[in-house]
């Protein structure tokens, strides 16, 4: 089994890598220390690929690393985030567009590049969040990007389904990652704790909550599940 994860050397991406195992290709943009630590933790079957997942060329480079190693792609995961913290009206237009491209449109770049290495039974996962559907302060570039990608995923699903390839989105509760700290600053830890304390299920999200779901969605038992967004948050997004 071979999995390629754009944004796979830390946070949620690394948890997904550990849950799936096998030959794991971990894409990263610039954090060399985190990349080396991830490879040390994952072992000999982990491959680091430095590339900008926000561009077609970067996505092609991620896929080329898999092809050059003689592998196909069983699982493809978009977990890359450009955490440009801003409101909409205060955003630099070019910087905003760049972040939305990385956070949303690049799902298309990644799928297009990977398609020749995928086969019937392969799966694509996009990591999304509630911020794609509700307004979160200073989250505009991520929220808009995720809303875009969720719509894009539905269009992709109708074209991938005849090929026997599935695509679904996973939306875990908030986790204290580098991206979350960049977006919410010193209040990130308090935000995560508050989310956990107010959760109807009485706790915050754990890696096993979303990785177990993803492993099932990647299995033959889920072959008819296509183009869906799965919220893994203990019921936090529900209202009467």
Mean pLDDT for 163-188 is: 87
CA distance 66 to 69: 5
Residue 41's pLDDT is 94
CA distance 49 to 66: 9
pTM exceeds 0.85 for this model: yes
CA distance 240 to 230: 19
CA distance 229 to 132: 11
Residue 146's pLDDT is 97
175 band by pLDDT with thresholds 50, 70 and 90:
confident
- Say what angle helices 140-160 and 106-114 make with each other, to 10 degrees: 30
Mean pLDDT for 14-28 is: 96
Mean pLDDT for 112-118 is: 98
Structural domains in the chain, sorted by start: 2-232 (3.40.50.720)
Three-state SS for the chain is CEEEEECCCCHHHHHHHHHHCCEEEEEECCCHHHHHHHHHHHCCCEEEEECCCCCHHHHHHHHHHHHHCCCCCCEEEECCCCCCCECCCCCCHHHHHHHHHHHHHHHHHHHHHHHHHCCCCCEEEEECCHHHCCCCCCEHHHHHHHHHHHHHHHHHHHHHHHHCCEEEEEEECCCCCHHHHHHHHHHHHHHHHHHHHCCCCCCCCCHHHHHHHHHHHCCHHHCCCCCCEEEECCCCCCCC
Please, is 5 exposed, middle or buried when counting C-beta atoms within 10 Å of its C-beta (0-12, 13-18, 19+)? Answer: buried
Poorest-pLDDT segment among 28-32, 105-109, 191-195: 191-195
Average pLDDT, the chain: 94
């Amino acid at each position: 089994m071979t999995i390629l994860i754009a944004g796979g050397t830390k946070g949620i991406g690394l948890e997904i890598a550990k849950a799936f195992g096998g030959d794991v290709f971990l894409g990263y943009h610039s954090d060399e220390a985190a990349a080396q630590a991830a490879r040390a933790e994952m072992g000999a079957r982990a491959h680091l690929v430095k590339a900008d997942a926000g561009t077609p060329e970067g996505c092609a480079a991620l896929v080329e690393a898999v092809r050059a190693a003689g592998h196909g792609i069983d699982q493809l995961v978009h977990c890359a985030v450009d955490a440009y913290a801003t409101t909409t009206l205060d955003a630099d237009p070019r910087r905003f567009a760049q972040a939305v491209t990385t956070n949303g449109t690049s799902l298309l770049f990644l799928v297009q590049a990977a398609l020749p290495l995928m086969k019937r039974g392969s799966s694509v996962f996009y990591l999304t969040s509630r911020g794609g559907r509700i307004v979160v302060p200073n989250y505009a570039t991520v929220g808009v990007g995720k809303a875009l990608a969720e719509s894009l995923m539905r269009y992709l699903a109708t074209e991938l389904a005849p090929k026997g390839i599935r695509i679904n989105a996973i939306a875990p509760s908030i986790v204290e990652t580098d991206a979350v700290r960049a977006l919410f600053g010193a209040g990130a830890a308090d935000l995560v704790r508050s989310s956990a304390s107010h959760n109807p299920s009485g706790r915050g999200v754990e890696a096993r909550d979303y990785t177990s779901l993803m492993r099932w969605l990647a299995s033959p038992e889920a072959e008819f599940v296509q183009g869906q967004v799965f919220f893994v948050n203990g019921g936090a997004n529900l209202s009467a």
